[in-house]
Each structure stands twice: as C-alpha cells, then as structure tokens.
Amino acid sequence: MSAIETTYVEPSRRMSVNGWAIVVIFLPPALLLFTVFVALPIAEAAWYGFYNWDGYGRPEKFIGLKNYGYLVGNATFTRSLINDGLVIAASLLIQLPFALGVALMVAGRITGAVWFRMIFFVPYVLADVAAGLIWHFMFDGGYGLPSLVTGALGLAPYYLLADKDWAFSAVLIVILWKYFGFYTMLYVAGLQGIDKSLLEAAEMDGASAFQRFRHITLPLLGPMIRLSIFFSVVGSLQLFDIIVPLTGGGPFETTNTMVSYLYYFGITRMRFGFSSAVGVVLFIICVTFAFGYRRLVMRDD
C-alpha cells in the first residue's frame, strides 16, 4: 500500500521536468489533429457563410451578413426552429419519463426482463433511414395503420403525412418510438448501480414505494437523468435522417428540422454559403446549450 502511495507522490513533484516533456511530445499531434479536423472546418464554414457560393471554384461573391439576413423572418426556417423545440419538448416531457417508467419495470429481476429490455432496444438499433422509410409506409392512408381505423369506421382514407397541420405529430411518434429504448437502457444501467441495501434499509424504516423512489432512487439516478436530458436535447437539434425518408420536410415545408432545412434549402440547392450560415446558427445554438448545461446542471457529475 505504501509503495503505491510513494509512486503516486513522486511524479507530481517532478512535474516540472517530466510533465513538460510529456506535454511537448504528446500535445502537438493531438493539437494538430484537432486543428485540422475540428477547428479549421468550423472556421471555414463560418467564412463560407459570408459568401454567395455554389460550390464550384473558390467563393468570390462576398455578401456580408445577407445569408443570415435571409433566415430572419423566413417562415420555413422559423417553422424548423419551432419543430426542433417540439421535438425537445416531446422528448423531455414524454419520452424520458416513459423510458424511466419502463426502466423501473424491467430493471428488477422479473421474469423475462432481459427479453423486454432487448425488445425495447430493437428500434434504436434499426438504422434511422430504414425506420423513416418503414413508418412512411405505416402511415399511408391507403394500406397503413390509419386505414385500419378509417376502414373499420367506414370513413374516407386519412393521409396523416399529407396533412400539414398534423404531419409533424407523425415525426414525433417515430422519434419517441425510436429512441425511448436507448434511454430505457441508460436508466436500467443507472438503476443497477444503486446500492440495494439503501432501498432495503428504507423499506425496513417503513418508507412507502413512492417515498423510496422519490427520496432514494431518483436522487441517486440524478447524474443519469441529467446526462439523458443532455443527449436528448443535442440529439433533437441534430435530427435529420428520419425526416428525409419519412416526410422529406413536406407537406409545404411543415416538417423540417434545422438540419433538414439546411439540407433541402442549402445543400440540394447548391447554396453552400447559405448552408454554412445555417450550420453556424445551429452550431452556436448547440454549443451554447452544451456549455451552459454542463456548467449549470452537470457541474457536479
């Protein structure tokens, strides 16, 4: 034991010599990789954002902040921001509580728990594009799920994905279905890390099931919940692959997210300067959230 302690103390005293050697040897490659693959592309995108550029040749037409100007008050972009907000709200208010409920049920040693966990996890394993495509057919008014209802009631077929007022709810359904399994697994892992003796002690002291959940399970699961909220918000802001096969942003551009807006109104139109500007806006939103959240909410984790 004492041998370990001495080896622990000694390097820290020689930090000035050894430590600097390590910094000099190991930092440049890491710094170079970070600069080339992370910092430079970000800076480049920010630079392209000031140009009207179709991707061919060098950007030459400098237009200042015009690309950002197009976004202000643009109905489609505003709608995509609102949609991102809706995804975040649905994830936080419906998906995460639901995943926690399921996790509480399947974390214990009930029969078939392993099977349930696996079944709930399957949608997450499926590729996003495949899920979007499958649900595109599932929502079809002619032969999909809605046709079962309208057929049984003798109503005219209902095409949810063609209804501009409700199509986005279809996107939300698919997102909830697709990702709740992931959060369930996250919570199951968290629940399994909780010391059982604490719960047993509380039970002996006469705490009810709800009290045990409220005062022991929930606080101890705190770090996991805070982490899941982080994943959920950042994931919602980056949502893209489900949208394209499911709705393609339609009908009438009511189901775009910020990233699908960037793709449909920037990249497919070869307006790379404009795409970069949208990318910069998205980047600022994500970074502000990530740093703010880590500093304010996750600082103890």
Partner 1 sequence: MSLRHLTFAAACLAALTAPAFAETNVTVLHVSENATQKALWDKIAADYNAQHPGVKVQFKYLENEAFKAKLPTMLQSNDRPELFYSWAGGVMQAQNKAGFLKDITADVAAVESTMSPTAVDAFKVNGKVVGVPFEVGEVAFYYNKKLFEKAGVKAEDIKTWDDFLAAVKKLKAAGIVPIVVGAGEKWPMHFYYSYLVMRIGGEHALADAKAGKEGGFKNATFVEAGKRLRELGALEPFQPGYLTTKHAESSGMFGDGKAAMDLMGQWLLGMQAPNSASGKGLPEEDIGILSFPIVAGGKGKATDTLGGINGWLVSKSAPPEAVDFLKFFSEAKYAKEAAAAGAYIPVVKGANAVITDPLFKRLADDLAATTYHQNYFDQDLGPAVGRVINDVSVAVAAGEMTPEAAAAAIQDAAEQQ
Contact positions toward partner 1, by CB under 8 A?
Answer: 52, 54-57, 70, 136, 140-142, 156-157, 159, 161-162, 164, 167, 247-248, 250-253, 264, 267-271
Q: Are 274 and 266 in contact (CB under 8 A)?
A: yes
The residue (of 123 and 251) whose beta carbon lies closer to partner 1 is 251
Q: How far apart are CA 271 and CA 111, in angstroms?
A: 56
**Cα(97)–Cα(90) distance, integer angstroms:** 10
Q: Considering the complex, state which of residue 123 and residue 141 has its C-beta at the smaller distance from partner 1.
A: 141
Q: How far is the CB of 68 from partner 1 (least distance, A)?
A: 13
In the complex, minimum distance from the CB of residue 77 to partner 1, in angstroms, rounded to a whole number = 14
Q: Which residues contact 242 (CB under 8 A, 6 or more apart)?
A: 128, 129, 131, 132, 171, 174, 175, 178
Nearer to partner 1, 235 or 251 (CB): 251
Between CA 254 and CA 282 the distance in angstroms is: 19
> Which is closer to partner 1, CB of 161 or CB of 258?
161
Closest by CA to 254, choosing from 117, 147, 184, 161, is 161
Which of 90/246 has CB closer to partner 1? 246
Q: Decide whether 158 or 177 has the Cβ nearer to partner 1.
A: 158
Q: How many CB atoms lie within 10 A of CB 2?
A: 6
CA 162 – CA 258 distance, rounded (Å): 20
**Distance of closest approach, residue 76 Cβ to partner 1, in angstroms:** 9
* In the complex, minimum distance from the CB of residue 106 to partner 1, in angstroms, rounded to a whole number: 36
What CA–CA distance (Å, rounded) separates 106 from 88? 25
Q: For residues 121 and 180, what is the distance between their CA atoms, to the nearest angstrom?
A: 8
Give the H/E segment covering residue 12. helix 2-13
Residue nearer to partner 1 on the CB measure, 232 or 260: 260
Closest CB 139 distance from partner 1, rounded Å? 8
Task: Indicate the burial class of 28 (C-beta count within 10 angstroms; 0-12, 13-18, 19 or more).
Answer: exposed
Query: Nearest approach, Cβ of 261 to partner 1 (angstroms)?
Result: 13
> Shortest gap between Cβ of 31 and partner 1 (angstroms)?
26
